[in-house]
Amino acid sequence: MRFRPFVVSLLSFVFVLGASAQQAQPQLSWAPVPFDANEPSTSGLKVLTNPQERSAALQLLDRARQNYTFYGPHTPAFTMKLSFTSNGPLQYEGQGTMQETWMGYGADRWSARIGSAETLRVAFARRMWSDNPAAPVPMRVQMARSTLLWPVVNPRPRVMLRAGAATIQGKAAMCILTSESMPLVDQPRHWVEKEYCIDPEGGNLLLWSEAPGHYVVYDYTTSTEFQGHVIANDISIYEGGGRVMQLHVDSIQDASGANADSLHPTPQLVAKGPSFGLTQPMKFPLLIPPSQGTVVTTIQPVFIHATFDKNGHVIEAEPLQNANPELTAKAMEAVKNSNQGEGIAQREAFIDVEFLSGTQQVAAGH
């Protein structure tokens, strides 16, 4: 079964609305995004419709993306080492380290440790190998990899773009908000938007936010330059209003002289059978239908950040909003009880749990 939560949620949404199709359906409105001190885009956002403005914004995004793009047919071989500290409600928290040597798609080995969990992955011959093939990768480790190896994703050609000036850690920034489908709005950050804040002069990524409540801040007080890449040495991740991770890039070095054979899986690893890789972060909705007889007028989202195993079951999860503890608990329960379908990799996801509410329809004759 292919991974298609968005299609399932969309069909559920159509069913909910279609159930009352014979009645006049009021226009749906989104509840406002709760206040978060880490959100830089609070006013002054402009919809980019002019081709020149859109081109300039997309070029700025691409400059930021290239700094954190380390995989590709023409990217240099590297060895990266980093250390990190995490705190929060997940199963594995505390001190951690990660190291990776990459010489191409057929020669890649990385290992990580956090708390009592140790992870090894070796990519070779289009397969993934591990010393413990079935063990899940801790969510904090997957977050560290997302933060350093693929934070900026090039948007589709006709994506909705909004932009505005902001200040990130005392630096002037241009914040670009992207969404696949959204009506023209004149308001601060919308629930469905991703956000990238970039230094317009140097092109450095200063902030990445996959969803409201999730903020990755890149600090270039000290930085590492490697083969044209400029990497912030210190990075902080905030979720639900608090800092959950601090990362430090210890070093990035040229690995072109390494022996590629040393990165291949050993016979002992091969004997244990193939393992699985990790996906880039994805985002999709999970709709919670209203009680029977409700005329839906409002969408109230709560975002849950989670990882899913190959069978579509939740491994670890934490909320990005806590303004309504009761609703947050229901959102967590809905995600943990969901199944997102079979896949070939461990998936990191930002789930937009959407509670549909409105007015109760009075039954005829009452």
Q: 3-55 pLDDT, tens per residue?
A: 444 333 433 333 333 333 334 445 789 999 999 999 999 989 999 999 999 99
- pLDDT score recorded for residue 195: 98
* C-alpha dihedral sign at 15, 349, 55, 205: positive
- pLDDT score recorded for residue 187: 79
Do residues 212 and 189 make contact, with C-beta atoms less than 8 angstroms apart?
A: yes
Residue pLDDT, tens place only, 179-198: 986 666 667 999 999 999 99
Low-confidence ranges of the chain (pLDDT < 70): 1-26, 181-186, 362-366
Residue 121: burial class (beta carbons within 10 Å; 0-12, 13-18, 19+): buried
- pLDDT score recorded for residue 125: 85
- pLDDT score recorded for residue 227: 94
What is the CB-side half-sphere exposure of residue 262 using CA atoms within 13 A?
9
pTM: 0.90
- pLDDT score recorded for residue 22: 38
Question: Do you know the residue count of the chain?
Answer: 366
Do residues 211 and 39 make contact, with C-beta atoms less than 8 angstroms apart?
A: no
Give how far Cα 37 sits from Cα of 182, 212, 289, 327, 328, Å.
24, 11, 31, 21, 19
d(CA 20, CA 163): 38
- pLDDT score recorded for residue 360: 80
The helix/strand/coil state of 286 is strand
